[in-house]
Structure formats: structure tokens, C-alpha cells
Amino acid sequence: MEELDGEPAVTVIPGVNSKKNQMCFDWGPGEMLVCETSFSKKEKSEMVPSCPFIYIIRKDVDVYSQILRKLFNESHGIFLGLQRIDEELTGKSRKSQLVRVSKNYRSVIRACMEEMHQVAIAAKDPASGRQFSSQVSILSAMELIWNLCEILFIEVAPAGHLLLHLLDWVRLHVCEVDSLSADVLGSENPSNHDSFWNLPGNTQTLTELELKWQHWHEECERYLQDSTFATNPHLESLLKIMLGDEAALLEQKELLSNWYHFLVTRLLYSNPTVKPIDLHYYAQSSLDLFLGGESSPEPLDNILLAAFEFDIHQVIKECSIALSNWWFVAHLTDLLDHCKLLQSHNLYFGSNMREFLLLEYASGLFAHPSLWQLGVDYFDYCPKLGRVSLELHIERIPLNTEQKALKVLRICEQRQMTEQVRSICKILAMKAVRNNRLGSALSWSIRAKDAAFATLVSDRFLRDYCERGCFSDLDLIDNLGPAMMLSDRLTFLGKYREFHHMYGEKRFADAASLLLSLMTSRIAPRSFWMTLLTDALPLLEQKQVIFSAEQTYELMQCLEDLTSRRPVRGESDIQQLQVIFTSGLMVPHGGGKRLPLSQTSPSLQKHWLLWTHVPLFPLTCVIHTPPSFRRK
């Protein structure tokens, strides 16, 4: 990999003495925690940290700015529109679309810059005002660079037209030119205005001069050689300027805001038909002449120089170092990639420059509680590492509310991110269980297709039923449908609720068959068998015979299995059930002994009441006795 051009910038944390105490830190997805440890580098006896604070260092603080959030939101739509540009379009139609996209990006930058400027003016706190003014300067520089890249790389203006674009570029970004022109032209007698001779001219004048430059150049040389205006220093200075004399231009340095203003003015009067390939020479020499060795170039100067040299890679690299966030380089690189200008710039770790910068920008968006939704679309358009990065980041989103969880879940489902869907549903199911919202927990576990958790929640439903005598969330249980096949316990829950429906509809024969199948198939949990056996009592009390002899034998077998494996609480209940089942119990015909229900155990009486919903009264049950045992 390429080495860094220099040492990374040092971030000073107020109140932390890193020379005296050791520091500890921990990386997060978009931030880093830093604090002092209890260990001193010199004094081992000192075990108390001098700075008892934990600092959060964020790498993308701009996402928390209200105004810059508008920049991120507006540019998101432009980005998506750019991705949908038909790849089959070629020539002027495709170029015009790309230029329109570039202008849309610049309009968003300028709108945010103007709003930030108004906020800076209205700021009551001087510190806040300075901070907003600094942001205005950064946004202004971003638009300046983007506009130049648009001229050189996207529009690709040819010789002759190139200078016209550069004149518009300077006019747009050097506010003093327009304000000075407005003052002079707005006066009653412009030629007598104090600033008339300091006026560089407006766009129309400069354009006209460019068209007639050759003629004027010859005229100016003749007038200068003849000393025609020797008596008027202003006119003579003007002649030298129109001839492109560097010394004469530098004499008016105070009227030129910066070196690139000087560059365009110099080109206008010395080489208005400059070719793109010669720009880098004029740019470098203009910078050197304007600075005059008194100061070194600023980061913005290096970026503009790289652009004039048509070094796209260096422009993006310098912008990445100088700017405080990844928005600018990510969107500019994406646009240049659609212009087919970055095909040769591949990185060493699996993705090209465009994808790397988009990944970094999207990662920063995920650090914000709401802008993360924009980051999803940026990851979608990173073909190599986008999906993997999205999976890693989306798992770290805090699911504070169910509404936010549903948004995340919908995003994962749309992209067939099965593991993430299951993970989110399990998290929500666990939260619901902790809040005793069993219906919601069961719904999430079904959506996650988690059989183990569905079994756990089903057990909670059955336990609550045993304690309360009724089910909660009946609408959910009644409409499980095919989802009940997720686990055996969930199937049992659904079928047991179906048994309740059959009994309520007085379909006793179907209810008896279903009840018996739940036990013989061993789908019912063993802890619930006693409840199922007791549920058979109301069916045995019916006037018509519900259980056949074979079915009664199966009930007896289930009861025997229940008591043989381990002791079960309620021995009196079991003994009474054994008496009832072994006697072919509760048939409405034939001779035999009657067993009053009031003589059964309280637990059986209570369970009986759950089914009959009537006050307890002495109820006799006919015990059928075989003929050989009857008294004659």
C-alpha cells in the first residue's frame, strides 16, 4: 500500500495529560472512547487518574449539524438519480445529463452555504459565530473546487471556450468583482467614480475583449511603443495590463483576491485561447508570482493546482486530507467515475476509489440516529463490499423503538438479509418476553423462524394458562395457520386452542379425538399431561358415549406412562382418574355405582368448573360395572 505523505494530525483532548498518564481507548463503529488509566508512567504509587472523564471522539461530527444534514439529505436524491442514468446514453446527451447532475450538487452546496452565512450573522455567541463562519469558508471552498472540476473534467471545455468558463468561475466565486462593478455602474457618472480605474470588468466586457483580443493587442503594442498615453499613468497602466504584462498586473495585486483570480486575468490578456494542456504551467507560475515567496501554499491552493494539472487522483487525495468529512470526495468521485475518468485508479484492498470513499461516507452516516437510512442506499451501490458493510453496520443500530426496528427489518427483508432479520426479530422477541408481552414475543419469534424461541414462548403461554385458566392474545393463537408448524410446542399450542374451539362448538367427538392424539403423539409436554387428562372429564360426562373402549384404554395408558416415569404431584387426583378410567367411566347407560363429583379432589372440581362455567353442585357420575360383578 502507499505510504502516508506525512504524519497524521494530532488531536489534543482538553484536561488529558498523555505525557504523565497512560491512556486507554476503545474503537466504535463511528467513534472512539478515550480515558486516562490509573497507572502513572513515572509515579507508580499514584493510582488515581487525574482526569476522571471519558471522552468521545467522533470522526464525522458534521453529520450532527442541522444545516449540513440538509446537504446530506438533498444530495442523497441527486446521488440516486445519477445511479439510474442510462449507461447506453453516449455523446452529448450523456454529457449534458452529467453536467446537470454536477450543477445540482453545486446548487445544494450554495444553498447550505447561504443558510450557514445567515446563521453566522445572527449568532449571538461569538464562538458560535466563528464556528459557523468557518463552515461557510469550507462550503465556499467546496463549491469552488467542484465548479473547477466541472469545467475541466466534466464539461471538458476546448481551447477558446475554456477561458470563458474560467471567467465565469472567477466571477461566481470572487464576490468583490460583482460588488465593485455594481457600485461603479450604479453611480451617476461611472467614469468619474473613484473605483472606475480599479474595475476589472464584468462578464460581457471580458467576453467581448476575448473575441477582439488580437486586434486590441496590436493596437495596445503600438500605443505603448509610441508613448501615446505617457501623460496619463492610468491609461498607460491599462495598456500594459491589456498586453498581459505581469509586473503591471502585480501592481494591482490588492484588487485581485487570490492567485487564481490573477491567473484568469493574466490568461485573458496574454493567452485567451489557452489550451487545457497548458493550464498547469500558467497556474504554477501565477501561484509563485502572486505569493512571491512571502508565504507557502494553503491546502486549497494545492487542490486547485492539482486540478489545473488534470491530476484527478491528487485532487481527491488532497480533498480527503483537507476537508472534515467524506461527503465531498465521495460524491465528486462517484460523478467522475460515471464520466469514465477513474478506471485506472484501483486500490490494493479489494475495491476501487469510488467504492472506498462511498463506504467511508456511508459508515459516517450510520453514526447518526436518523441519517443511517441514507447510508443504506450508498452501501447498495458499492458492488464489492457494500453488502458486507451494510450487514455489519445494520447490526449495530440501536433498536430503541419498535417503529425503528420495523424500518430496519424492512430494509433487511428487501435485501434478503436472512441472518440479520433473524437477529433483529430475536432481539425484539426477547424484549417482549422481558416485558411479559407474550403475544408480541411469539409473533417476533415466528417472524424470525426461531423454533427454539418459539418453543420457549409457547411454554410461557401454557404455564400462564395453567395458572390463570385462560389464554392471553387469543387472536394471535387462533390465527397461527401454517406458522404453528415451526416447532412441536407451537403446534401443540395451536392444536390445544383448536380443541377449545371444538368443545365450545359442541363437536365433542372431534374434540375427544384431537385431545387423545395430542397425548398419544407425544407432542404435548409431559408437564401438561395432567391437564389434558383432566380435560377428558367433561367429555366423559356427556350423555352420548364420546370415548370408545379403545380410546379409554389409551387414556389409561397415558395416565400409566405419566405416573411410571416420575412421581407426579396430586396423588389423590391420579387415583381418582385411575378409578374413573379403569371402570370405563362416565357412560350414561348400564348399571353400576355412581361417584358424586363433590367427592372428587378440589383440583378436579376446579378444572371441571373451567369447562362448565356453572356453580359447583353435587354431580353423580355413572360407573359402569361389568355384568359378572353385579349383585343378583
State pTM to two decimals.
0.72
- Judge whether 334 and 76 are in contact, CB under 8 Å: no
Q: What is the pLDDT of residue 114?
A: 92
User: What's the CA gap between 406 and 408, in Å, rounded?
Assistant: 5
Q: Tell me: pLDDT of 214 over 80.
A: no
Q: How far apart are CA 3 and CA 389, in angstroms?
A: 25
Residue 393: half-sphere exposure toward Cβ, Cα within 13 Å = 30
Residue 418 in grid coordinates? 436472512
- Does residue 249 or residue 565 have the better pLDDT? 249
The CA-CA-CA angle for residues 308, 169, 138, to 5°, reads 80
Phi, psi of 74 (to 5 degrees): -65, -40
**Which class for 602: exposed (0-12), middle (13-18), buried (19 or more C-beta within 10 A)?**
exposed
Long-range contact set of residues 54-58: C-beta below 8 Å, sequence gap at least 24? 55/13, 55/16, 56/31, 56/32, 57/11, 57/13, 57/31, 57/32, 57/33, 58/30, 58/31, 58/367
Write the pLDDT tens digit of every residue in 558-584: 776 667 665 555 555 555 555 555 544
Residue 251: what pLDDT?
A: 83
Break the chain into its structural domains and give their ranges. Answer: 22-59, 436-564+575-613
Q: Which of 237-246, 293-302, 325-334, 438-447 has the lowest mean pLDDT?
A: 237-246
Q: What is the pLDDT of residue 411?
A: 94
pLDDT at position 434 is: 85
Give the pLDDT of residue 75: 94
Per-residue pLDDT for 257 more than 50? yes
The dihedrals phi and psi of 596, each to the nearest 5 degrees, come to -65, 135
For residue range 136-181, list pLDDT tens digits in order: 999 999 999 999 999 999 988 776 678 888 888 988 887 555 555 5
Looking at residue 578, its pLDDT comes to 52
Q: What is the pLDDT averaged over residues 501-511?
A: 79
Which range among 128-132, 296-300, 335-339 shows the weakest confidence by mean pLDDT? Answer: 128-132
The grid coordinates listed for 282 are 500558467
Neighbours of 444 (CB within 10 A): 27
Phi-psi sector, 97: left (phi>0), alpha (psi -120 to 50), beta: alpha
Percent of the chain's residues with pLDDT above 90: 21
- On the question of pLDDT at 112 being above 70, the answer is yes
CA 571 to chain centre: 60
User: What is the distance between the alpha carbons of residues 383 and 605, in angstroms, rounded to a whole number?
Assistant: 68
176/256 Cα distance (integer angstroms)? 9
Query: Where are the alpha helices (H) located in 401-437, listed in sequence order?
Result: 402-414, 418-434
How does the average pLDDT of the chain come out, rounded?
75
Calculate the alpha carbon distances from 601 to 207, 508, 570, 576 in Å: 109, 25, 9, 8
Q: Residue type for 315, please?
A: V
